[in-house]
Amino acid sequence: MTEKEIKDLLKKAVEDGLSILRYQEERVEQEEIADPFSFYEQFPFLLWSKNGLPDFSYSSVAKIKYSNLFLKGNRYNDIQSWKALQQALLNSKEYVAFYGLTNNEEVARNYHTYFFIADLIDHYAHTYGKLDYHEKAFEPVFQTWYSAWSKNELKVDVWVPILFLHFPVGEVELGPGLQLQQIDDARQLSKAYFGRHLNSKLQQVFASATHALVFNDWVVDNTSLDARNDFLNDPNAFSDILDHLDYLMGSLRVVAGEETGYGQLLVFPAGWADQWAADLVPCLPIEQHNFPASFLNQKWKQAPPKMKEKDIQDIADIYKLLSKGGRKSLEVGVQKLNSIYLNDQAPESMIDILTGLEALLLDEVHGDPVYKLSMRLGSLLQIAPFARKEVADIFKVVEALYKYKLNILKGDSHLNGKEKKISFYPKKKIELVSFGTDLLRHILLTFFKNPQMQEPAYLDRMLINRG
């Protein structure tokens, strides 16, 4: 069958369905019958908290679910145009093969050749806002449905909401096919509706995002429904995006120094769909937790840290350097910084800090690592001053980190809060994880902005010259 033949059949089915809806609506208005329409359950409304983060309320009497009317009492069996479309689709070898329709799978067979018309009409009615047929309103609905099964490849946009950060820009280009973009209201509602099955804490965490990292035009294999679903349900299919996210979140943490993360990949079909919910943008959420466990402890009630506009360019620049590949030590340092922000455990964080510092500043295993690392840190911090005054005792900080690492390697089980701090004269203590994290960030930011300083030999020469 040609596209035009299928379109004409679907058009007639939609016209007849809309006529039935109008008839029932008129009978209700004339009080001939009780209201036969039911509603979507837990349909979201977008609200805004005082801290500037999104929030949602849910209602089960907000949106009419027109599709249910056709299913009551098997009303669809009386619509001849629906039967004609069903028969035509069952006679289409391409359509039957794509959806894998067999007599044994009666539910799937009926849905994709019959019941889907009810959902499509429901989507049309909510999108157009009327129960009348209009060619310009029908055309995009038809094209998205037809594309969903007639094309061998489809495109999707993947949105990754960034949790608990406020950005001063609406949209900014970070790279080819990649933007930092404000989440519009339509996608906020879709995110809430399609994630409504989550427990209340996860709903609150995932709601706390105003912006997302957007990966445009990713290609999906669409040779069959099974092939498409296999792709969209396979985390490995998004491994490239996850690799980019490691760089992006690391770049953000280097610049901002704030706790953040993400919890979902939101897959939005680009120009195709064969399942709908009212006028919502079709969305396929994939849970991918990458945030500190502390976020589950009512962090959404706090005001999010505010990024500065100049920081966005720094984030973009660092991301571009990481994604191009290059000095492995920088990648290791960013990986360890990511791990520190995601890990609430002091032993692991201290090891990550030390490993990151070693990757950035040590070029060989010979000699005393405590001395060499301390000297190079001292040289670097003379060139690029660090705001925290404790750097004056950098040797003691490095010594404490190595002592902590040695105790862990020995399997000491008595480590407690005392080991997380070191004392300075007179009776001053610093928290090692906090200080070490800030120090690692400072060095990474310095190296990214001053590539010549990345060579440890450069720091040695500077130390000798200053000496």
Please state whether 31 falls in left (phi above 0), alpha (psi between -120 and 50) or beta: left
Percentage of the chain exceeding pLDDT 90: 63
Least confident of 81-90, 243-252, 262-271, 336-345: 336-345
pLDDT attached to residue 407:
77
pLDDT surpassing 60 at residue 134: yes
Q: For residue 357, give the nearest of 425, 459, 283 by alpha carbon.
A: 459
pLDDT surpassing 60 at residue 453: yes
Is residue 427 very low, low, confident or very high in pLDDT (cuts 50, 70, 90)? low
pLDDT surpassing 50 at residue 425: no
Report pTM. Answer: 0.90
Is residue 435 very low, low, confident or very high in pLDDT (cuts 50, 70, 90)? confident
Q: What is the mean pLDDT of residues 333-343?
A: 94
pLDDT attached to residue 263:
95
220: β partners: 154
Is residue 110 very low, low, confident or very high in pLDDT (cuts 50, 70, 90)? confident
pLDDT surpassing 90 at residue 193: yes
Positive or negative, the CA dihedral 333, 339, 341, 346 is negative
Cβ-based neighbours of 293, under 8 Å, separated by 6 or more: 344
465 vs 278 pLDDT, higher one: 278
The average confidence (pLDDT) of the chain is 89
Q: How far is CA 192 from CA 44, 63, 209, 464, in A?
A: 7, 15, 12, 59
Q: What is the mean pLDDT of residues 329-346?
A: 90
Q: What b/e readout covers 377-402, taking b as 16+ CB neighbours within 10 angstroms?
A: bbbbbeeeebeeebbebbeebbbbbb
Q: What is the mean pLDDT of residues 106-121?
A: 91
pLDDT surpassing 60 at residue 324: yes
Backbone dihedral angles phi then psi of residue 154, each to the nearest 5 degrees:
-125, 160
What secondary structure, in 3-state letters, does the chain show?
A: CCHHHHHHHHHHHHHHHHHHHHHHHHHHHCCCCCCCCCECCCEEEEEECCCCCEEEEEECCCCECCHHHHHHHHHHHHCHHHHHHHHHHHCCHHHHHHHCCCCCCHHHHHHHHHHHHHHHHHHHHHHHCCCCCCHHHHHHHHHHHHHHHHCCEEEEEEEEEECCCECCCCEEEEECCEEEEECCHHHHHHHHHHCCCCCHHHHHHHHCCCEEEEEEEEEEECCCHHHHHHHHCCHHHHHHHHHHHHHHHHHHHHHHCCCCCEEEEEEEEECCCCCCCCCCCCCEEEEEEECCHHHHCCHHHCCCCECCHHHHHHHHHHHHHHHCCCCHHHHHHHHHHHHHHHCCCHHHHHHHHHHHHHHHHCCCCCCCHHHHHHHHHHHHHHHCCCCCHHHHHHHHHHHHHHHHHHHHHCCCCCCCHHHHEEEECCCEEEEHHHHHHHHHHHHHHHHHHCHHHHCHHHHHHHHHHHC
Bridge-based pairing state of the strands 262-270 and 211-221: unpaired
Least confident of 3-17, 71-85, 99-113, 287-301: 71-85
Is residue 151 very low, low, confident or very high in pLDDT (cuts 50, 70, 90)? very high
Q: What is the mean pLDDT of residues 190-214?
A: 93
Least confident of 120-129, 218-227, 262-271, 401-410: 401-410
pLDDT surpassing 80 at residue 344: no
Cβ-based neighbours of 321, under 8 Å, separated by 6 or more: 330, 448
Q: For residue 162, give the nearest of 306, 260, 308, 267 by alpha carbon.
A: 260
Q: What is the mean pLDDT of residues 224-234?
A: 91
Is residue 199 very low, low, confident or very high in pLDDT (cuts 50, 70, 90)? confident
pLDDT attached to residue 411:
66
pLDDT attached to residue 421:
61
User: Using CA atoms, how far apart are residues 208 and 187, in angstroms rounded to an integer?
Assistant: 13
pLDDT attached to residue 416:
52
pLDDT surpassing 90 at residue 253: yes
First vs last C-alpha separation in the chain? 84
Bridge-based pairing state of the strands 211-221 and 421-424: unpaired
pLDDT surpassing 80 at residue 380: yes
Residue carrying structure tokens 């010594």 = 399
Contact 200, 207 (CB under 8 A): no
pLDDT attached to residue 459:
75
pLDDT surpassing 80 at residue 426: no
For 451-455, which contacts have Cβ atoms below 8 Å and span 24 or more sequence positions? 453/380, 453/383, 453/384, 454/327, 454/329, 454/330, 454/360
Q: What is the mean pLDDT of residues 406-410?
A: 74
